Structure 1
């Protein structure tokens, strides 16, 4: 796609340049700038260029260096630089690890000095107060942080706060003559918008690449339960060292903070990801005000709607977040939500999948109220809901080991089912069937069933025991909807 864009740009330059190389018309100038866009312009040389835009914004992009204290112990551990490299390239070979080839058993904390690493980039977003946004993984574990400006001034930076869940950190420097990039409304960003990535790849200093917005709302890798991902994908070249740098639009507005790439070779493959400006700005505001990010919750467990689930549950749409469980006495419980509801809108934002509702709730300050729209039995309902502070909750450990010799059903799509053994402790009572084994690669395994699950419902009707379950699935065609309890939490699955 990037090659096509470049060819297209060259063609425009040739067609218009032939007639207007000395004095381009107002219409040609407007076309090249894309209306209000300022990315491309024909200068006094008659050259199609984005130099004026870059001269305005590149002073706001900084290089970041960190210093870490060196001890015998830290020499044998992973450095921040290795962490950064492995974020892009995956686990490094044994010979490239910092402790490779060392036979020393010395685990003392003897101070051996400091090590400086040039490992990332940052964006000045507030010139008056000296606030800089970068990635959490760029400054993680640093003892000292230094910012190098485009004019080569080196400043020691204060860490205001950092949030690993969004990979955003905020720094502060004291200096005069700083330039900042304004935040864009990242919600207005569209696939196909022109993008420019600015950063410090491989420690080379300011480097500029261009492309388009390839996709929005992206997730990648194995997201842990506490991570928030809503990335802008771009084909502008992003490489190690670009982390924390700026992704801007053709107006010179900040639409994202460059974070990661997907690459099998370690080089740029045109798949880069940036934290959207809205998320970065929200996290920044909380870090500055509170020193931490205070997130809210509404008390639901949610999941995506697969085609099989849509068929099995006879749902009217595949869009939305399916509520698999409502926590007792939570805001969702008080607002009247129930298992099986489909959340389609939150705080006036459309919800397409489970990530959307998670991100939308995270933007609302705990203690505030929001609107929520959901579907129940095909009917659309809207109500108000409180957002409360996320707190760590103790969870009972449920036993998933059953040694009893209980008659089993072994023909349910590769799953072995029994009545619930007495040794298994559950939160939802003793009605249902127990999954004592799942054959690898079977339909049950592909649907998500696992050993230790308890099937409570078939097609939203309760089952009391194995006999009841066999009656419920008899003569069923197509996908069968199962309501499953796992570790005290409920989820929906569809098995054919």
Structure 2
């Protein structure tokens, strides 16, 4: 009998089989990319003035531990305690306190045009009295801030220079997770540092960044640190696909999560800054929440998706439209709304006075609603207007309800009951139950009597000045 031994590192290929094609071959060499683009990347230095300190505040300031240590240093090595030493060796006079020096912060940027337009992050130049741009060859120019956009975290600078080499702009819409990406910037002041990684995801919304909910961030694992902000993110073809902007960290340093503003989004902002000096965004005026598994079941969806409308900003385009609380927006102008955070990103890039076509689910049926957008206010209100809306005990759900001025208020919630487990609390106002308005105890009783016993029920509540939906089951999981 003939035995065939095959090394573990080899492949056994049958007579009718073909060896699989390797999907990744080798590692890229980015040196040519860096050499071609290094002189298009700049250092941005912002001078931020310190608030003036009054004479009284200076005189009343108690010496710190560091001040005392410094005095001891002078005493040991120079023979006087931080005082101006007299020429005749007599007692010195205390030197007047030096005026506070302005703070200087450093970031990165890149050349947009040969005549001196520079792009960086807004937070790099925030509060600056002066801004300077330093090129690869060491030349430094005073920059003018031609425009800023706080929600987009973008600043457009202009320096008096000619013959600069602009970057090549890519198409961030074509970026795919898994593709290589390269960053050049000035982390911690180390100019023209190069790091590389991959695109991790697209269309990210950052937690706790309400001002930037309109930016569909690119997530990467490219190492980004303080000073890298505003620098370019390149693809392997040497084209800029993003502006490095933020990191997600608990330590203050890089933790493998960095975020870049897509260049397509950024250039829309730049176009408006050049033409108008400011950025105007479309405004719909809805309050929304995500749809989880229980709420999807309650609304008749086969999976969690879309943006669930919980209310409207008063006098907004949405409030004047055919949209209703309880509607689920599934797409906007053909763009799928998978998460509620997708909707602001789609609406935010549309111009005011344009029409947006929304695909909406209302009481289990899909239809289209067209809304003419307004202009996003600079101080868009967070509060929403209420819905167009004795005691009652609901034993099946552990609720005690009361009617006040045609509103149904929860007076008490049974501990560990279905309502408590769903997140309902005393003082909550019940607005709808399975999209049926609750404007009286009779309406509430009828709605609860018709409740689904084998599936969650969608309850719209108002708590404080916010409205949101909860999924209420008679027998929660």
The bucket for the TM-score relative to the shorter chain is 0.7 to 0.9
Q: In the comparison of the two structures, how many residue pairs are matched? A: 406
What is residue 482 of structure 1 aligned with on the other side?
A: 459
Deviation at 1:322, TM superposition (A): 2.0
Correspondence list, 1:82-101, <5 A: none
- Residue range with higher mean Cα deviation, 448-457 or 163-172: 448-457
1:397–1:487 Cα contact (<8 Å) kept: no
Whether 1:134 and 2:120 are equivalent positions in the alignment is: yes
Whether 1:184 and 2:170 are equivalent positions in the alignment is: yes
What is residue 47 of structure 2 aligned with on the other side?
A: 67
What is residue 336 of structure 2 aligned with on the other side?
A: 350
1:183–1:255 Cα contact (<8 Å) kept: yes
Correspondence list, 1:23-102, <5 A: 40=28, 49-73=29-53
Whether 1:300 and 2:277 are equivalent positions in the alignment is: no
- Residue range with higher mean Cα deviation, 246-255 or 461-470: 461-470
What is residue 233 of structure 1 aligned with on the other side?
A: 219
What is residue 196 of structure 2 aligned with on the other side?
A: 210
Distance in 1 (alpha carbons) for counterparts of 2:437 and 2:228: 53
Distance in 2 (alpha carbons) for counterparts of 1:51 and 1:272: 22
What is residue 77 of structure 2 aligned with on the other side?
A: none
What is residue 492 of structure 1 aligned with on the other side?
A: 469
1:63–1:118 Cα contact (<8 Å) kept: no
What is residue 461 of structure 1 aligned with on the other side?
A: 436
Distance in 2 (alpha carbons) for counterparts of 1:438 and 1:139: 51
What is residue 19 of structure 2 aligned with on the other side?
A: none
Correspondence list, 1:178-327, <5 A: 178-224=164-210, 227-326=213-312
What is residue 124 of structure 1 aligned with on the other side?
A: 111
1:158 alignment partner, SS class: strand
2:184 alignment partner, SS class: strand
Identify unmatched segments of 5+ residues in structure 1: 1-30, 34-38, 41-48, 75-98, 103-109, 400-405, 422-429
What is residue 401 of structure 2 aligned with on the other side?
A: 418
1:361 alignment partner, SS class: helix
Computing the radius of gyration from Cα coordinates, the structure with the larger value is: 2
Question: Aligned pair in 2 of structure 1 residues 455, 63: CA closer, same or farther (>3 Å)?
Answer: same
1:126 alignment partner, SS class: coil
Q: 2:367 aligns with which of 356, 377, 381?
A: 381
Distance in 2 (alpha carbons) for counterparts of 1:459 and 1:369: 30
What per-residue deviation string (whole Å, max 9, x for no partner) do you get for residues 182-234 of structure 1?
Answer: 33221211111110011100011111111100111222331336743421111
1:161–1:171 Cα contact (<8 Å) kept: yes
Question: Aligned pair in 2 of structure 1 residues 412, 55: CA closer, same or farther (>3 Å)?
Answer: farther
1:417–1:435 Cα contact (<8 Å) kept: yes
Question: Aligned pair in 2 of structure 1 residues 248, 377: CA closer, same or farther (>3 Å)?
Answer: same
Question: Aligned pair in 2 of structure 1 residues 317, 143: CA closer, same or farther (>3 Å)?
Answer: same
Q: Note the aligned Cα RMSD (angstroms).
A: 3.6
1:69–1:112 Cα contact (<8 Å) kept: no
What per-residue deviation string (whole Å, max 9, x for no partner) do you get for residues 353-392 of structure 1?
Answer: 2221111111111122333333334444345432211235
Question: Aligned pair in 2 of structure 1 residues 452, 245: CA closer, same or farther (>3 Å)?
Answer: farther
Question: Aligned pair in 2 of structure 1 residues 390, 397: CA closer, same or farther (>3 Å)?
Answer: closer
Distance in 2 (alpha carbons) for counterparts of 1:147 and 1:225: 27
What per-residue deviation string (whole Å, max 9, x for no partner) do you get for residues 434-473 of structure 1?
Answer: 1457799997677554564311222222334457546644
Deviation at 1:155, TM superposition (A): 0.8
What is residue 159 of structure 1 aligned with on the other side?
A: 145
Q: 1:434 aligns with which of 409, 413, 436?
A: 409
What per-residue deviation string (whole Å, max 9, x for no partner) do you get for residues 32-52 of structure 1?
Answer: 79xxxxx94xxxxxxxx3221
- Residue range with higher mean Cα deviation, 350-359 or 197-206: 350-359
Question: Aligned pair in 2 of structure 1 residues 206, 452: CA closer, same or farther (>3 Å)?
Answer: farther
Identify unmatched segments of 5+ residues in structure 2: 1-23, 55-63, 68-96
1:162–1:169 Cα contact (<8 Å) kept: yes
Question: Aligned pair in 2 of structure 1 residues 124, 378: CA closer, same or farther (>3 Å)?
Answer: farther
Question: Aligned pair in 2 of structure 1 residues 265, 171: CA closer, same or farther (>3 Å)?
Answer: same
1:326–1:337 Cα contact (<8 Å) kept: no
